[in-house]
């Protein structure tokens, strides 16, 4: 894991919520260029900055760094819906996902 992972993750999570870098910077109480500098790899967030970012988007630091999930916000929404289903519905969703992926690749 390197600096580019953090930059990319900031951008992916921010864009998934449809918020501009400038607005997010202000919401976090930082300079207007704060998020832009992180996303462009010019700086890294402090531990406190990372915690504030995660709190703002209601994700854990573990979810932020979980690199097997490219789109953590979307996965979280899907998992929320999956948790409402019984085993039969889950198997149906699984079969549908397999069908979609088989047709794509």
Q: What is the mean pLDDT of each run of 10 residues along the chain (105 residues)?
A: 90 94 96 96 96 94 86 86 96 94 84
Q: Are residues 4 and 55 in the same domain?
A: yes
Rounded Cα distance, 7 and 34, in Å: 12
How much is the pLDDT for 70? 79
The domain spanning residue 25 has which CATH number? 1.10.260.40
How much is the pLDDT for 23? 97
Residue ranges making up the domain that contains 25: 1-69
**What is the pTM for the complete model shown?**
0.75
Q: Are 12 and 64 in contact (CB under 8 A)?
A: no
How much is the pLDDT for 33? 95
Question: Which parts of the chain fold into alpha helices (H)?
Answer: 3-16, 21-27, 34-39, 47-56, 61-65, 72-82, 87-104
Q: Are residues 96 and 63 in the same domain?
A: no
Q: How many domains, in total, are found in the chain?
A: 2
- Of 48, 43, 21, nearest to 32 by C-alpha is 21
How much is the pLDDT for 1? 66
Q: Are residues 32 and 82 in the same domain?
A: no
């Amino acid at each position: 894991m390197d600096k580019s992972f953090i930059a990319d993750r900031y951008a992916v999570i921010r864009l998934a919520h449809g918020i501009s870098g400038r607005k997010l910077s202000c919401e976090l109480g930082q300079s207007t260029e704060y998020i832009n500098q992180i996303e462009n790899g010019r700086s890294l967030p402090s531990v406190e900055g990372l915690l504030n970012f995660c709190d703002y988007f209601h994700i854990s630091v573990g979810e932020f760094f979980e690199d097997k999930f490219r789109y953590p916000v979307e996965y979280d929404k899907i998992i929320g819906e999956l948790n409402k289903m019984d085993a039969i519905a889950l198997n149906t969703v699984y079969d549908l996902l397999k069908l979609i992926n088989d047709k794509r690749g």
